[in-house]
Amino acid sequence: MNPITMAVVTILSVVSFYQCTNNEDLFSGFPTEMDFQNLQEVHDTMTLTDTIQLTITDPTIENILEGEDIRLVFPPNSCTLAGGATPTAPFKVSLIEIFKRGEMIKHNIQTFAAEAPLVSGGMFWVRVTDATGAELTLNGVQAILPYQTDANGYENSMQYFIGTTQTAPSGPVISWGAGNSELTFDETAGTNGEFTIWSIIGGWSNCDAFYNLIDGQSTQFKVRVPNAPDFTNTQVFFALNDFTTVAALTTVQGDALATYTGSIPTGAQGKIIAISLVEGALHFASQDVTISGDNTFDLVVAPGTIADLQSLLNTVN
């Protein structure tokens, strides 16, 4: 190669290298592969195997179905199709039972009705479909829940609540509204007593009492998650130690998520749990806290697997 040719080749190489090193698109890397698109996918993944499947073969007679802990009593012909048509047997009954705080967080649930905290005696989700897959309406179906939560002193104050949602930056959180059914407690039934809801509807149901907050002794608190990119993909829950009460922090205050004003008892002890997606990857952290007033806590999330998060939530009974 003669000197002139070598000079031309060298100039072209330098120009090409300059163009390449100044093209940001070439160095932006491959697109990040998202483990999860949103936090609801995290909850869905953790709860894939939580549904109990039961069957009603003859709906014209009374059927008593045993879940893991809950009993459902179906009077004769108590499941109907909208419009009055006759459903086709057999019926499939899908049931989810929840009595523990960690299970509530797994399912993206808090024990609040609007901004009022609740003490739970147990909750469940039920759906009945006929042989064609059509969803059925429940008429006079009873649910009997064994008393096995932390609700000391609230046993005879329990009411029937049905599922609704409250808005959070990361999406809806399951919460509660008043249901229209009688709820009774029999302290002599079962091992520790039983709650009976005398007419349930399909979907989420809860046996709850309003938490008795003492005037002048209620407070609130905030949690910062410094390494989370934003609150679109970040949730914070507080599981109270004394009662089966779970709060989702749904209010943004500056760089923190906050509880509702005056919704937490001063001196309350419990665990805060932050769950976040950082570039689509699961991160989480927990911390035991005592709420002494209008506190602000910092919780730095770290990478972990679904199994790791489930193990953490399984310790929150």
- Residue 7 binned pLDDT confidence (cut-offs 50, 70, 90): very low
Distance, in Å, from the CA atom of 290 to the CA atom of 240, rounded to the nearest integer, reads 10
Instruction: Kindly report, residue by residue over 125-175, the tens digit of the pLDDT.
Output: 999 999 999 999 999 999 999 999 999 999 999 999 999 999 999 999 999
Q: Residues 186-198: what's their mean pLDDT?
A: 97
User: What local confidence, expressed as pLDDT, does residue 85 receive?
Assistant: 85
Domains along the chain? 42-210 (2.60.220), 214-314 (2.60.40)
Instruction: Kindly report, residue by residue over 15-48, the tens digit of the pLDDT.
Output: 454 454 455 454 445 455 779 999 999 999 999 9
Distance, in Å, from the CA atom of 72 to the CA atom of 9, rounded to the nearest integer, reads 83
Instruction: Kindly report, residue by residue over 206-246, the tens digit of the pLDDT.
Output: 999 999 998 888 999 999 999 998 899 999 999 999 999 99
